[in-house]
Structure 1
Amino acid sequence: MTPHPATCIAFEGHRRISAGPMSDVALAVREVLARGEQAPVLIFDDVTSRPVEFDLRGTPEEILARLASEAPGEQPAPSADVREDDTPRRGRPKLGVVAREVTLLPRHWDWLNGQSGGASVALRKLVDAARLAGEDKDRKRAAQEAVYRFMTAIAGNLPDYEDATRALYADDRARFDGIVSTWPEDVRNHTLRLAEGALVTHP
Protein backbone atom coordinates (compact mmCIF):
# COMPACT_ATOMS: atom_id res chain seq x y z
CA MET A 1 0.00 0.00 0.00
CA THR A 2 1.28 3.45 -0.97
CA PRO A 3 1.66 5.54 2.18
CA HIS A 4 -0.45 8.65 2.47
CA PRO A 5 1.40 11.97 2.16
CA ALA A 6 1.90 14.25 5.14
CA THR A 7 -0.21 16.92 3.49
CA CYS A 8 -2.62 16.91 0.59
CA ILE A 9 -5.12 19.10 -1.22
CA ALA A 10 -8.62 18.30 -2.47
CA PHE A 11 -10.71 19.91 -5.20
CA GLU A 12 -14.38 19.67 -6.08
CA GLY A 13 -14.23 20.56 -9.74
CA HIS A 14 -12.18 23.76 -9.80
CA ARG A 15 -12.98 24.69 -6.20
CA ARG A 16 -10.53 23.86 -3.45
CA ILE A 17 -12.21 21.90 -0.67
CA SER A 18 -9.38 21.63 1.82
CA ALA A 19 -5.62 21.51 2.15
CA GLY A 20 -3.38 20.34 4.96
CA PRO A 21 -3.05 17.16 7.04
CA MET A 22 -4.68 14.14 5.46
CA SER A 23 -7.11 13.74 8.37
CA ASP A 24 -8.53 17.25 7.85
CA VAL A 25 -8.76 16.80 4.09
CA ALA A 26 -10.38 13.37 4.34
CA LEU A 27 -13.16 14.64 6.62
CA ALA A 28 -13.74 17.69 4.42
CA VAL A 29 -14.04 15.46 1.36
CA ARG A 30 -16.45 13.20 3.23
CA GLU A 31 -18.73 16.17 3.93
CA VAL A 32 -18.73 17.20 0.27
CA LEU A 33 -19.53 13.70 -0.92
CA ALA A 34 -22.29 13.39 1.67
CA ARG A 35 -23.98 16.44 0.16
CA GLY A 36 -24.12 14.62 -3.17
CA GLU A 37 -22.15 17.22 -5.13
CA GLN A 38 -21.95 16.54 -8.85
CA ALA A 39 -18.51 17.95 -9.64
CA PRO A 40 -15.67 15.39 -9.54
CA VAL A 41 -13.66 15.34 -6.33
CA LEU A 42 -9.91 14.91 -6.74
CA ILE A 43 -7.28 14.65 -4.01
CA PHE A 44 -3.57 15.27 -4.62
CA ASP A 45 -0.34 14.93 -2.74
CA ASP A 46 0.38 18.57 -1.93
CA VAL A 47 3.99 18.30 -3.13
CA THR A 48 4.11 15.74 -5.96
CA SER A 49 0.50 16.09 -7.21
CA ARG A 50 0.17 12.32 -7.26
CA PRO A 51 -3.45 11.22 -6.73
CA VAL A 52 -4.46 10.27 -3.20
CA GLU A 53 -7.30 7.94 -2.24
CA PHE A 54 -9.01 7.66 1.13
CA ASP A 55 -11.33 4.99 2.46
CA LEU A 56 -14.21 7.19 3.56
CA ARG A 57 -16.57 4.48 4.76
CA GLY A 58 -18.04 4.72 8.24
CA THR A 59 -18.07 7.45 10.84
CA PRO A 60 -15.50 10.25 11.09
CA GLU A 61 -13.97 8.41 14.03
CA GLU A 62 -13.61 5.23 11.97
CA ILE A 63 -12.05 7.14 9.09
CA LEU A 64 -9.52 8.82 11.37
CA ALA A 65 -8.68 5.49 13.00
CA ARG A 66 -7.95 3.94 9.59
CA LEU A 67 -5.78 6.87 8.58
CA ALA A 68 -3.84 6.63 11.83
CA SER A 69 -3.23 2.93 11.28
CA GLU A 70 -2.04 3.53 7.71
CA ALA A 71 0.30 6.40 8.61
CA PRO A 72 4.00 5.49 8.36
CA GLY A 73 5.55 4.76 11.73
CA GLU A 74 8.32 6.82 13.22
CA GLN A 75 11.81 5.82 12.29
CA PRO A 76 13.97 4.66 15.18
CA ALA A 77 16.65 7.08 16.26
CA PRO A 78 20.13 6.18 15.03
CA SER A 79 22.04 4.15 17.55
CA ALA A 80 25.10 5.59 19.23
CA ASP A 81 28.56 4.48 18.17
CA VAL A 82 29.74 2.35 21.10
CA ARG A 83 32.71 0.22 22.01
CA GLU A 84 32.40 -3.41 22.96
CA ASP A 85 31.94 -2.32 26.61
CA ASP A 86 28.97 -0.13 25.50
CA THR A 87 30.86 3.08 26.33
CA PRO A 88 29.97 5.85 23.85
CA ARG A 89 32.87 6.93 21.67
CA ARG A 90 34.16 10.47 22.08
CA GLY A 91 36.02 12.81 19.83
CA ARG A 92 35.49 13.56 16.14
CA PRO A 93 33.19 11.22 14.22
CA LYS A 94 34.74 9.21 11.42
CA LEU A 95 34.49 11.02 8.10
CA GLY A 96 34.09 7.83 6.11
CA VAL A 97 37.00 8.59 3.79
CA VAL A 98 37.66 5.74 1.37
CA ALA A 99 40.96 5.43 -0.52
CA ARG A 100 40.61 4.20 -4.12
CA GLU A 101 42.70 4.38 -7.24
CA VAL A 102 42.02 7.22 -9.67
CA THR A 103 43.53 7.11 -13.16
CA LEU A 104 44.13 10.48 -14.83
CA LEU A 105 46.34 11.90 -17.53
CA PRO A 106 49.49 13.80 -16.46
CA ARG A 107 47.93 17.17 -17.31
CA HIS A 108 45.01 16.36 -15.01
CA TRP A 109 47.33 15.53 -12.12
CA ASP A 110 49.34 18.69 -12.78
CA TRP A 111 46.20 20.81 -12.56
CA LEU A 112 44.86 19.04 -9.46
CA ASN A 113 48.17 19.25 -7.60
CA GLY A 114 48.29 22.97 -8.30
CA GLN A 115 44.94 23.58 -6.58
CA SER A 116 44.64 24.82 -3.03
CA GLY A 117 44.67 21.83 -0.69
CA GLY A 118 46.09 19.46 -3.29
CA ALA A 119 44.55 16.82 -5.52
CA SER A 120 42.28 15.16 -2.94
CA VAL A 121 40.64 18.40 -1.82
CA ALA A 122 40.20 19.57 -5.41
CA LEU A 123 38.62 16.28 -6.45
CA ARG A 124 36.19 16.36 -3.52
CA LYS A 125 35.16 19.91 -4.43
CA LEU A 126 34.62 18.95 -8.07
CA VAL A 127 32.51 15.93 -7.12
CA ASP A 128 30.42 17.95 -4.65
CA ALA A 129 29.82 20.69 -7.24
CA ALA A 130 28.70 18.15 -9.85
CA ARG A 131 26.49 16.37 -7.32
CA LEU A 132 24.77 19.61 -6.25
CA ALA A 133 24.22 20.62 -9.87
CA GLY A 134 22.60 17.26 -10.52
CA GLU A 135 20.40 17.60 -7.44
CA ASP A 136 19.21 21.03 -8.61
CA LYS A 137 18.22 19.55 -11.98
CA ASP A 138 16.45 16.66 -10.27
CA ARG A 139 14.52 19.04 -8.00
CA LYS A 140 13.44 21.17 -10.96
CA ARG A 141 12.39 18.14 -12.97
CA ALA A 142 10.35 16.82 -10.02
CA ALA A 143 8.68 20.22 -9.62
CA GLN A 144 7.82 20.35 -13.34
CA GLU A 145 6.30 16.88 -13.12
CA ALA A 146 4.20 17.94 -10.12
CA VAL A 147 2.83 20.95 -12.03
CA TYR A 148 2.15 18.83 -15.10
CA ARG A 149 0.31 16.13 -13.12
CA PHE A 150 -1.93 18.68 -11.45
CA MET A 151 -2.64 20.60 -14.66
CA THR A 152 -3.40 17.42 -16.60
CA ALA A 153 -5.82 16.17 -13.96
CA ILE A 154 -7.74 19.38 -13.30
CA ALA A 155 -6.99 21.98 -15.95
CA GLY A 156 -7.06 20.00 -19.18
CA ASN A 157 -10.21 21.78 -20.38
CA LEU A 158 -9.19 25.25 -19.29
CA PRO A 159 -8.18 27.95 -21.83
CA ASP A 160 -4.72 27.57 -23.37
CA TYR A 161 -3.87 24.49 -21.29
CA GLU A 162 -1.55 23.14 -23.99
CA ASP A 163 0.22 26.48 -24.32
CA ALA A 164 0.72 26.53 -20.54
CA THR A 165 2.27 23.07 -20.72
CA ARG A 166 4.67 24.19 -23.44
CA ALA A 167 5.59 27.29 -21.45
CA LEU A 168 6.25 25.13 -18.39
CA TYR A 169 8.80 22.96 -20.16
CA ALA A 170 10.26 25.90 -22.09
CA ASP A 171 10.93 27.64 -18.75
CA ASP A 172 8.92 30.64 -19.96
CA ARG A 173 7.71 32.05 -16.65
CA ALA A 174 6.06 35.17 -18.09
CA ARG A 175 4.05 33.18 -20.63
CA PHE A 176 3.09 30.54 -18.10
CA ASP A 177 1.94 33.07 -15.49
CA GLY A 178 -0.04 35.00 -18.10
CA ILE A 179 -2.00 31.92 -19.14
CA VAL A 180 -2.61 30.54 -15.67
CA SER A 181 -3.76 33.94 -14.38
CA THR A 182 -6.99 33.53 -16.38
CA TRP A 183 -7.90 30.21 -14.74
CA PRO A 184 -10.30 29.76 -11.79
CA GLU A 185 -8.84 31.23 -8.63
CA ASP A 186 -8.18 28.06 -6.63
CA VAL A 187 -6.68 26.20 -9.59
CA ARG A 188 -4.59 29.24 -10.50
CA ASN A 189 -3.23 29.72 -7.00
CA HIS A 190 -2.22 26.09 -6.52
CA THR A 191 -0.70 25.82 -9.99
CA LEU A 192 1.43 28.92 -9.42
CA ARG A 193 2.53 27.67 -6.01
CA LEU A 194 3.64 24.36 -7.50
CA ALA A 195 5.44 26.21 -10.29
CA GLU A 196 7.68 28.13 -7.88
CA GLY A 197 10.26 25.36 -8.00
CA ALA A 198 9.72 24.53 -11.66
CA LEU A 199 10.27 27.85 -13.40
CA VAL A 200 13.10 30.36 -13.25
CA THR A 201 12.10 33.99 -12.91
CA HIS A 202 14.08 35.87 -15.51
CA PRO A 203 14.96 39.53 -14.93
Structure 2
Amino acid sequence: MNESAPRGMSVRAFAGTRLIARGAPLEVALAVKAALEDGETAPVLVFDDRDASPVEFDLRGRAADVAARLAADAAWQAQSADGDETQPEAPGEDAPRGRGRPRLGVVAREVTLLPRHWDWLAAQPGGASVVLRRLVDSARHASDAKDRVRASREAVHRFMTALAGNLPGYEEALRALYAGERARFEAWSVDWPEGVRDYVRELAQGAFA
Protein backbone atom coordinates (compact mmCIF):
# COMPACT_ATOMS: atom_id res chain seq x y z
CA MET A 1 0.00 0.00 0.00
CA ASN A 2 1.63 3.23 -1.12
CA GLU A 3 -0.60 5.49 0.90
CA SER A 4 -0.64 4.95 4.64
CA ALA A 5 -3.97 4.43 6.37
CA PRO A 6 -4.54 6.61 9.43
CA ARG A 7 -6.73 5.30 12.20
CA GLY A 8 -10.38 6.01 11.40
CA MET A 9 -9.66 6.54 7.72
CA SER A 10 -12.50 5.81 5.29
CA VAL A 11 -11.99 5.00 1.62
CA ARG A 12 -14.13 4.22 -1.41
CA ALA A 13 -13.41 1.87 -4.32
CA PHE A 14 -14.80 2.08 -7.86
CA ALA A 15 -14.57 -0.39 -10.72
CA GLY A 16 -14.94 1.94 -13.64
CA THR A 17 -17.79 4.20 -12.55
CA ARG A 18 -19.40 1.54 -10.35
CA LEU A 19 -19.00 1.77 -6.59
CA ILE A 20 -17.87 -1.63 -5.29
CA ALA A 21 -16.84 -0.94 -1.68
CA ARG A 22 -16.61 1.74 0.96
CA GLY A 23 -15.43 1.78 4.56
CA ALA A 24 -12.21 1.10 6.47
CA PRO A 25 -9.06 0.47 4.37
CA LEU A 26 -8.80 -3.21 5.25
CA GLU A 27 -12.47 -3.87 4.47
CA VAL A 28 -12.18 -2.11 1.10
CA ALA A 29 -8.82 -3.68 0.25
CA LEU A 30 -10.22 -7.16 0.75
CA ALA A 31 -13.31 -6.31 -1.30
CA VAL A 32 -11.13 -5.03 -4.13
CA LYS A 33 -8.95 -8.15 -3.93
CA ALA A 34 -12.03 -10.37 -4.11
CA ALA A 35 -13.45 -8.43 -7.06
CA LEU A 36 -10.21 -8.72 -9.02
CA GLU A 37 -9.91 -12.41 -8.26
CA ASP A 38 -13.50 -12.89 -9.44
CA GLY A 39 -12.55 -11.46 -12.83
CA GLU A 40 -13.30 -7.73 -12.54
CA THR A 41 -11.94 -6.17 -15.74
CA ALA A 42 -12.76 -2.49 -15.24
CA PRO A 43 -10.00 -0.28 -13.81
CA VAL A 44 -10.29 -0.18 -10.01
CA LEU A 45 -9.56 3.12 -8.26
CA VAL A 46 -9.68 3.80 -4.52
CA PHE A 47 -10.16 7.26 -3.00
CA ASP A 48 -9.61 8.72 0.46
CA ASP A 49 -12.98 10.06 1.62
CA ARG A 50 -11.34 13.08 3.24
CA ASP A 51 -10.13 14.69 0.03
CA ALA A 52 -10.58 12.17 -2.81
CA SER A 53 -6.84 11.59 -3.04
CA PRO A 54 -5.93 8.23 -4.61
CA VAL A 55 -5.08 5.28 -2.37
CA GLU A 56 -3.16 2.23 -3.54
CA PHE A 57 -3.24 -1.17 -1.88
CA ASP A 58 -0.64 -3.90 -2.10
CA LEU A 59 -2.92 -6.89 -2.70
CA ARG A 60 -0.27 -9.57 -3.14
CA GLY A 61 -0.64 -12.83 -1.30
CA ARG A 62 -3.49 -14.00 0.88
CA ALA A 63 -6.02 -11.84 2.72
CA ALA A 64 -3.94 -12.27 5.87
CA ASP A 65 -0.91 -10.84 4.06
CA VAL A 66 -2.86 -7.78 2.97
CA ALA A 67 -4.15 -7.28 6.51
CA ALA A 68 -0.65 -7.61 7.97
CA ARG A 69 0.76 -4.97 5.63
CA LEU A 70 -2.07 -2.56 6.41
CA ALA A 71 -1.60 -3.10 10.13
CA ALA A 72 2.14 -2.47 9.80
CA ASP A 73 1.47 0.75 7.85
CA ALA A 74 -0.98 1.96 10.50
CA ALA A 75 1.44 1.13 13.33
CA TRP A 76 4.29 2.93 11.57
CA GLN A 77 2.19 6.04 11.05
CA ALA A 78 1.00 6.05 14.67
CA GLN A 79 4.60 5.73 15.88
CA SER A 80 5.70 8.56 13.61
CA ALA A 81 2.92 10.80 14.90
CA ASP A 82 3.78 10.04 18.52
CA GLY A 83 7.41 10.91 17.83
CA ASP A 84 6.59 14.57 17.09
CA GLU A 85 7.50 16.24 20.32
CA THR A 86 6.98 19.92 20.89
CA GLN A 87 9.77 21.95 22.36
CA PRO A 88 9.18 23.93 25.53
CA GLU A 89 8.87 27.64 25.08
CA ALA A 90 12.04 29.57 25.77
CA PRO A 91 11.83 32.06 28.62
CA GLY A 92 10.89 35.48 27.36
CA GLU A 93 8.59 38.39 27.69
CA ASP A 94 5.48 36.24 28.00
CA ALA A 95 6.93 33.53 30.22
CA PRO A 96 4.40 31.92 32.61
CA ARG A 97 3.38 34.17 35.47
CA GLY A 98 2.52 31.57 38.03
CA ARG A 99 4.17 28.51 39.42
CA GLY A 100 2.96 25.39 37.67
CA ARG A 101 1.23 27.15 34.79
CA PRO A 102 1.31 24.66 31.87
CA ARG A 103 2.81 25.47 28.48
CA LEU A 104 0.49 23.24 26.47
CA GLY A 105 1.60 22.85 22.86
CA VAL A 106 3.86 25.90 22.90
CA VAL A 107 6.82 25.70 20.52
CA ALA A 108 9.75 28.14 20.55
CA ARG A 109 11.05 29.09 17.10
CA GLU A 110 12.91 32.00 15.64
CA VAL A 111 10.93 34.79 13.97
CA THR A 112 12.68 37.33 11.73
CA LEU A 113 11.14 40.79 11.47
CA LEU A 114 12.24 44.25 10.43
CA PRO A 115 13.04 46.80 13.17
CA ARG A 116 9.78 48.67 12.64
CA HIS A 117 7.86 45.43 13.23
CA TRP A 118 9.69 44.79 16.49
CA ASP A 119 9.05 48.39 17.55
CA TRP A 120 5.33 47.99 16.94
CA LEU A 121 5.18 44.66 18.76
CA ALA A 122 7.06 46.06 21.73
CA ALA A 123 4.42 48.78 22.11
CA GLN A 124 1.54 46.26 22.26
CA PRO A 125 0.19 44.92 25.56
CA GLY A 126 1.12 41.37 26.42
CA GLY A 127 4.43 41.17 24.59
CA ALA A 128 5.44 40.07 21.12
CA SER A 129 4.49 36.40 21.44
CA VAL A 130 0.97 37.14 22.68
CA VAL A 131 0.37 39.65 19.90
CA LEU A 132 1.73 37.32 17.21
CA ARG A 133 -0.50 34.49 18.39
CA ARG A 134 -3.49 36.79 18.31
CA LEU A 135 -2.68 37.97 14.79
CA VAL A 136 -2.20 34.41 13.53
CA ASP A 137 -5.49 33.25 15.07
CA SER A 138 -7.31 36.21 13.54
CA ALA A 139 -5.88 35.47 10.09
CA ARG A 140 -6.76 31.79 10.43
CA HIS A 141 -10.37 32.53 11.35
CA ALA A 142 -10.68 34.96 8.43
CA SER A 143 -9.45 32.39 5.93
CA ASP A 144 -11.17 29.27 7.33
CA ALA A 145 -14.32 29.60 5.21
CA LYS A 146 -12.39 30.23 2.00
CA ASP A 147 -10.04 27.36 2.77
CA ARG A 148 -12.97 24.97 3.27
CA VAL A 149 -14.54 26.00 -0.04
CA ARG A 150 -11.24 25.66 -1.89
CA ALA A 151 -10.46 22.26 -0.35
CA SER A 152 -13.92 20.93 -1.17
CA ARG A 153 -13.72 22.12 -4.79
CA GLU A 154 -10.27 20.61 -5.19
CA ALA A 155 -11.52 17.25 -3.87
CA VAL A 156 -14.48 17.25 -6.27
CA HIS A 157 -12.28 18.27 -9.20
CA ARG A 158 -9.76 15.55 -8.33
CA PHE A 159 -12.42 12.85 -8.25
CA MET A 160 -14.28 14.10 -11.32
CA THR A 161 -11.06 14.20 -13.34
CA ALA A 162 -10.35 10.59 -12.38
CA LEU A 163 -13.78 9.08 -12.97
CA ALA A 164 -16.28 11.51 -14.52
CA GLY A 165 -14.27 12.98 -17.39
CA ASN A 166 -16.20 10.99 -20.01
CA LEU A 167 -19.62 11.41 -18.44
CA PRO A 168 -22.19 13.73 -20.06
CA GLY A 169 -22.24 17.18 -18.51
CA TYR A 170 -18.75 16.87 -17.01
CA GLU A 171 -17.47 20.26 -18.21
CA GLU A 172 -20.72 22.03 -17.37
CA ALA A 173 -20.77 20.51 -13.88
CA LEU A 174 -17.16 21.57 -13.34
CA ARG A 175 -17.93 25.15 -14.40
CA ALA A 176 -20.92 25.22 -12.04
CA LEU A 177 -18.74 23.92 -9.22
CA TYR A 178 -16.27 26.79 -9.52
CA ALA A 179 -19.04 29.30 -10.08
CA GLY A 180 -20.58 28.25 -6.76
CA GLU A 181 -23.88 27.25 -8.41
CA ARG A 182 -25.10 24.17 -6.54
CA ALA A 183 -28.37 23.73 -8.47
CA ARG A 184 -26.59 23.71 -11.85
CA PHE A 185 -23.88 21.41 -10.53
CA GLU A 186 -26.44 18.88 -9.31
CA ALA A 187 -28.53 19.19 -12.47
CA TRP A 188 -25.60 18.35 -14.74
CA SER A 189 -24.60 15.36 -12.61
CA VAL A 190 -28.07 13.96 -11.94
CA ASP A 191 -27.84 11.25 -14.63
CA TRP A 192 -24.37 10.02 -13.66
CA PRO A 193 -23.94 6.51 -12.19
CA GLU A 194 -25.35 6.53 -8.68
CA GLY A 195 -22.09 5.93 -6.85
CA VAL A 196 -20.27 8.67 -8.75
CA ARG A 197 -23.14 11.15 -8.46
CA ASP A 198 -23.58 10.62 -4.74
CA TYR A 199 -19.85 10.84 -4.07
CA VAL A 200 -19.32 14.13 -5.93
CA ARG A 201 -22.26 15.62 -4.06
CA GLU A 202 -20.86 14.42 -0.76
CA LEU A 203 -17.44 15.84 -1.56
CA ALA A 204 -19.06 19.12 -2.68
CA GLN A 205 -20.82 19.78 0.64
CA GLY A 206 -18.40 22.56 1.48
CA ALA A 207 -17.95 23.88 -2.05
CA PHE A 208 -20.95 26.17 -2.16
CA ALA A 209 -20.63 28.06 1.13
TM bucket by the smaller chain? Answer: 0.7 to 0.9
Larger Rg: 1
Task: Say whether residues 1:62 and 2:61 are aligned partners.
Answer: no
Task: Say whether residues 1:103 and 2:112 are aligned partners.
Answer: no
Q: Mark the runs of 5 or more structure 1 residues left unpaired by the alignment.
A: 82-88, 114-119
Deviation, 1:126, is: 5.8
Output the CA distance in 1 between the equivalents of 2:176 and 2:24.
31
Q: Mark the runs of 5 or more structure 2 residues left unpaired by the alignment.
A: 89-97, 109-116
- Length-normalised TM-score, structure 2: 0.73
Deviation, 1:90, is: 6.4
CA distance 1:126–1:90, change in 2 (3 Å): closer
Aligned to 2:165: 156
CA distance 1:53–1:123, change in 2 (3 Å): closer
Per-residue CA shift, 1:123-178, capped at 9, x if unaligned?
87665332212233222211111110101111111111001111111111111111
Per-residue CA shift, 1:61-86, capped at 9, x if unaligned?
1110111112222443979x8xxxxx
Output the CA distance in 2 between the equivalents of 1:102 and 1:140.
37
Equivalenced residue count is 182
Residue among 71, 78, 81 paired with 1:73? 78
Output the CA distance in 2 between the equivalents of 1:173 and 1:141.
15
Q: State the AA in 1 paired with 2:203.
A: L
Percent identity between matched residues is 51
- Length-normalised TM-score, structure 1: 0.75
* RMSD of aligned Cα (Å): 3.4
Deviation, 1:92, is: 3.4
Q: State the AA in 2 paired with 1:171.
A: G
CA distance 1:123–1:149, change in 2 (3 Å): closer
